[in-house]
A and B are shown apart, each in its own frame.
Chain A
Amino acid sequence: MNLHFPVFELPAEAQALRREVRAFIAAENRAGLWQRGGDFATHYDPAFSRRLGARGWLGMTWPRRYGGQERSMLERLVLSEELIAANAPIAAHWIADRQSGPLLLRYGSEAQRREFLPRIARGEIFFSIGMSEPDSGSDLASVRTRAVQVDGGWRIDGRKLWTSFAHLNHYAIVLARTGAAGESRHEGLSQFIVDLKAGDLEVRPIVNMAGQREFNEVVFTGSFVPDARLVGEPGNGWRQVTSELAYERSGPERYLSFIRLAEAALQCAGANPSPRLREALGRTSAKLIALRSMSIAVAALLQQGAMPNLEASLIKDLGTAFEREQIGVYRALRSELAPASAEYLSALAETTIYAPSWTLRGGTREILRGIVARGLGMR
């Protein structure tokens, strides 16, 4: 077994940050600036993102010269988990802070870092993921969007799909084929920073099952991207895109999406809590402790410069399966509540509707289990 989840304790500065974030959220709630609700990936509020930016809480691990605070991945984990546990509206900045920024930091040019990172850190610009296509979901290497070199840049033709908030965000990092696929099919892919506000591409809305305008189809027809917007080396796109995965798959959003429902049930426990509710709350806590310990380990490994993609994939599969199972647990406890509150009913309805997305986005459970199986030597 080559799985590695060393035990790390959160440093004192991370504990101090937790108190600071909890106080901030309490003040936001007192001021009624937003309501709990929706889902971390779809609760979109640019003003909230800018308030986080003003506190230095976006891009907080990045170098100061790019607008960061040079804080650790463990501090970022504490901030993330507190925001998600509070159902804060983080969707606007989430992708840029979690993976687009780190991608540019790792592979972007100096000019790209100076242009984009400080603005991400201030909450001024938001990013979308441009990976999936109509015929390329889990089989990402099969993308057919093409970028062809022209004078001064690249012309892009093709379609990206399920591009969350492309209609509101400013940029997308688009994976496109720029050369022959090779035997591995992983060659000849490149990533581009695409300006979603440019006139030469089309953003078509797709309403999600919850009735929200979240997804889009982004259509490129000879859309021009200047050379300066190529990320990293041409043809290195596969390596770059997989480097985003450890950031994307190991965080608290992969095991806390349901927490609002458990907390709502707890608030309805009444003076004499049902033993069944007490048992459920205990079982939830136990698995959360295990998952959180693993997530802290991955954050610490990232801090050390490792790329724990296997561990991250494992956390996402285990965590999202747990999240989905929790909904059934707390739905069954409805008759044990004294009585069920409006918040419980709302949390139950919303988590139930959003649950299918948890085990799809960022890698389906089938893909993740395949990655774990490969790590175990079965593939």
Chain B
Amino acid sequence: MTATLQPVLSADAMVRDAAGRAFDDLAADWFRSEATFPDDAARVRKRQALLNAVAALGFADALASPDAREAWVDAASILRAQARSAAPIDMALLLATGDRLASIAGDPSLYECAADAGLPGNAQAVLALALGRCLQICAALEAALDLSLQYVQDRRQFGRPLARFQAIQHSLAIAAEELAASTALTDLALACMVREGCASARLPGLLDAAALVLGHAIDVVYDASHQAHGAIGFTREYPLHRHSLNLLRWRDDLQRLRGGELRCAERLGDAALQAQGVWSAVTALMQPGDRHD
């Protein structure tokens, strides 16, 4: 028994770093190919968002075939690494458009760009996009928490580091718990994708669950990380804002890709009603299908 008990997924930092560089190369290529775009702010904004969509969809397409499922592990590493690095958003450019809402949201949502490109017609691609957003959200949650943990060690008030205050410890502990739940659920969905592919009957339900659990985790981490940082976290010069703004935008994408937060909840609730039990529905959704190898 013990010998056969291996994790379905395991993280490898070196693979992640290499994958992150590969993603950057891909992004650079895409920008070069789009060099003929008029260089106004709206175009740049649109292009940035479309880059995200194409990059994610490119992975999804490459990985949709049954032969290429294993490659999802690499794709996950790429998405996580890119999300962790959180390249700075060119806010001066965005603010120049005068569109304050857009400046807060960062750029038009992936969902709208995907819709423009006719992607929602491809249900499996949309699932891949949603899983990609889950992976990015987990990476950004972890990055925001890591920044907070470092900050509360460095920052001293009342003669001691903030980390010595129990109120701070508990607030960040709760944030870490939500991150752990988010990562566990995302890894479960990723394992489902790797094992069963985009056509898995379980994948939509797991992504609905992720849209709810990650959605809540973002609230908790957004609150705790900014509270721990004080005013510095609410500036453009300190990196926390990149993760926060990404989290807010990616949550919007994830939930809209799934039709909205309430639809996710209602679909899972209907599954429980159909199974005549919450517990029956949960165990069924977590049980690997017959399709896996």
Contacts and interface: CB of A to CB of B under 8 A. Distances in A.
15 contacts: A7-B8, A7-B190, A267-B276, A279-B265, A280-B269, A281-B278, A282-B208, A283-B268, A283-B269, A285-B209, A286-B268, A314-B176, A317-B177, A372-B176, A376-B176
Contacts of B8: 6-9
Interface in A1-39: 1, 3, 5-11, 15, 18
Contact of B269 (A85, A282, A379): A282
B191 interface: yes
A341 interface: no
Most buried by B among A280, A286, A372, A379: A286
A3 B176 contact: yes
Interface of A: 1, 3, 5-11, 15, 18, 71-72, 74, 85, 256, 259, 262-263, 266-267, 269, 273, 275, 277-294, 297, 300, 303-305, 311, 314, 317-318, 366, 369-370, 372-373, 375-379
Contact of A6 (B7, B170, B209, B279): B7
Interface in B1-46: 1-2, 4-5, 7-10
Interface in B154-205: 163-164, 166, 168-170, 172-174, 176-185, 187-188, 190-191, 195
Contact of A281 (B149, B172, B273): B273
Contacts of A377: 149, 153, 163
Contact of B10 (A1, A6, A289, A373): A6
Contacts of B265: 278-280, 282-283, 286
Contacts, number: 199
Contacts of B183: 5
B65 to A, nearest CB: 22
B259 interface: no
Main secondary structure of the interface of A (DSSP, over half): helix
Identify the 4 closest CB pairs spanning chains A and B, nearest first: A282-B268, A6-B7, A278-B269, A282-B265
Given A282-B266, A373-B170, 6 more contacts: A9-B8, A10-B287, A282-B264, A282-B270, A293-B188, A377-B153
A6 B153 CA distance: 28
A302 B181 CA distance: 19
Nearest to A299: B5
A285 B278 CA distance: 6
A287 B269 CA distance: 12
B176 A303 contact: no
Given A1-B176, A263-B279, A304-B5, A290 B185 contact: yes
A377 B146 CA distance: 11
Contacts of A285: 209, 268-269, 271-272, 278, 281-282, 285
Contacts of A72: 1-2, 5
Contact of B213 (A273, A275, A277, A290): A290
Contact of A278 (B7, B172, B270): B270
B102 interface: no
B53 interface: no
A85 B288 contact: no
Contact of B272 (A5, A282, A304): A282
Contacts of A304: 2, 5
B206 interface: yes
B4 to A, nearest CB: 7
Given A282-B272, A286-B268, A263 B277 contact: yes
A376 B262 CA distance: 33
Nearest to B265: A282
Contacts of B187: 5-7, 293
B283 interface: yes
A71 B5 CA distance: 13
A281 B181 contact: no
